[in-house]
Amino acid sequence: MIYSSATKKPQIHSSAYVAPSATVSGDIEVGAGCAILHGAILVSEGAPLKVGADTVVMEHAVIKASGGSAIQFPCTIGERCIVGPHAYIVGATIGNGCFIASGAQIRNGTRIANGTGEVPGGDEFLRNVFNIEADPGTAPAESLRAKAAETYAKFLRKTHAQDARLDDHRTTKAAPQRSAPSMPPPPATDVGGVVDAMMLELQEMEHRRQESLKKQKGK
């Protein structure tokens, strides 16, 4: 859901993906190639909020900018970042290529340097999951996080481009069905007899095979 607030309207790049259940409200800029997933909330309340290109904001993350006449806390999320599920970021500046862990809380005035943030499993996790390597001449942590975000955002945009809303899905009460006429139960199968018959056939086959072998040896 995308809302204006007073005279301010979100500016969302045409290549970005915003889930229908996400909320984007007010003076907000969402850069090219971003993926804003289901339940995420981006709100500008008196100060601007910017999300850089190729950044992923995962499910139920909350990102806010706030301010009044005395003081303002704009919020900036850098390019190629991953903001984990249920993270809460308000009035902070997040550098490029950062990884914000699930459930993290980052408050007004905080500044996070480029390429930082604890990754569960370490940078080796990013290499294995996204099949990427750091760029030569760039700090490995920053490069890996940035590449992972860019790769993940591309995957999410492609995947969710196929989503379709199913308005007609509802629970309905099944119509009463007429009871079918009762049928006599099928005759019981004598499993033991079937097994016995099979054993007899196998024994007969084995007997014939042995007789054939004896005849071949006698020649």
Position 6 in a domain: yes
- Give tens-digit pLDDT for 149-197: 999 999 999 999 888 888 765 655 555 666 656 666 555 544 444 444 4
CB-CB contact of 65 with 44 (8 Å)? yes
What value does the mean pLDDT take over residues 66-79?
92
- pLDDT(199) > 60: no
- Is 173 a member of any domain? no
- The owner of tokens 């760029």 is 135
The rounded distance, in Å, linking the Cα atoms of 133 and 147 is 8
122 confidence band (pLDDT: 50, 70, 90): confident
Query: Domain range holding 81?
Result: 2-160
φ and ψ of 77, to 5 deg: -110, 125
Pairwise CA distance, residues 35 & 32, whole Å: 9
CATH, residue 52: 2.160.10.10
Specify if 12 maps to a domain: yes
pLDDT of residue 117: 79
The two tokens of residue 81 are: 């970042």
| Torsion sign over Cα 143, 144, 149, 154 | positive
Please tell me the predicted confidence (pLDDT) of residue 191.
43
Is residue 118 included in any domain, yes or no? Answer: yes
In a domain, 199, yes or no: no
Tell me if 53 is assigned to some domain: yes
How would residue 102 be classed by pLDDT, with cut points 50, 70 and 90?
A: very high
Confidence of residue 131 (pLDDT cuts 50, 70, 90): confident
Q: What is the pTM of this model?
A: 0.73
SS (H, E, C) 95-133: CCCCEECCCCEECCCCEECCCCCCCCCHHHHHHHHHCCC
The verdict on residue 184 lying in a domain is no
**pLDDT at 204 exceeding the cut of 50:** yes
d(CA 154, CA 158): 6
What pLDDT is recorded for position 193?
46
pLDDT at 142: 75
Using pLDDT thresholds of 50, 70 and 90, give the confidence band for residue 133.
confident
The tally of domains found in the chain comes to: 1
Q: Is the pLDDT of residue 22 over 60?
A: yes
154 neighbors 10 (Cβ within 8 angstroms): no
In a domain, 170, yes or no: no
- Please give the pLDDT value at position 69: 80
